Amino acid sequence: METANKTTIVSALNDLVKTNNDRYMGYQKALSITHNESLKPIFQKLAMDSSKNINELSDLILQINGKPIEDSSVAGKFYRAWMDVKAMFTGNDDHTLLSDCEYGEDMALKAYDSVDDSNDLSMSDPASMLLDNQRSRIKDGHETIKSLRDNSKAF
């Protein structure tokens, strides 16, 4: 693999690591905010999905002799702080929390779509399949959160 392409791929994969770090920490934050015991296992599962994604992406980066990052994005840090502020004013209601989680899922899907849409990346088939599988898991999580959010409006 040529150096320029490798650097571009490692950068894109590290962006997805950041996205999954944000997602993981967002669900950890949601776990600490919610008082709804039925949401906790869902948030835990989605956090674990992100942890799995991080491990898979980091392994892939190492396979191409890159260095995985371990941090989250600045935007993610601000958004988690915003979740705390909103929780203070909304009383930790499920609908608001689930809306925040859905926004995080939207951002994660956009990050995967931007890597997928990039013409600068030529990844191996196994790497492309891995990203497709991860995006599919995130899409499933998005649908779960969206459904829960929609149902929480009814009450």
d(CA 5, CA 21): 24
**Residue-level length of the chain:** 155
Residues of the chain with pLDDT below 70 are 1-4, 71-92, 119-121, 154-155
Q: Is 89:143 a contact under the CB 8 Å cutoff?
A: no
Domains of the chain: 3-153 (1.20.1260.10)
Return the half-sphere exposure (C-beta side, CA atoms, 13 A cut-off) of residue 111.
25
Q: What is the pTM of this model?
A: 0.85
The pLDDT, as a whole number, for residue 17 is 96
Amino acid 23: pLDDT? 95
Contacts of 116 (CB under 8 A, 6+ apart): 131, 135
What pLDDT does 77 receive?
A: 55
> 152 and 92 in contact (C-beta within 8 Å)?
no
Interatomic CA distance for residues 154 and 1, integer angstroms? 53
- 65: its two tokens: 């002799």
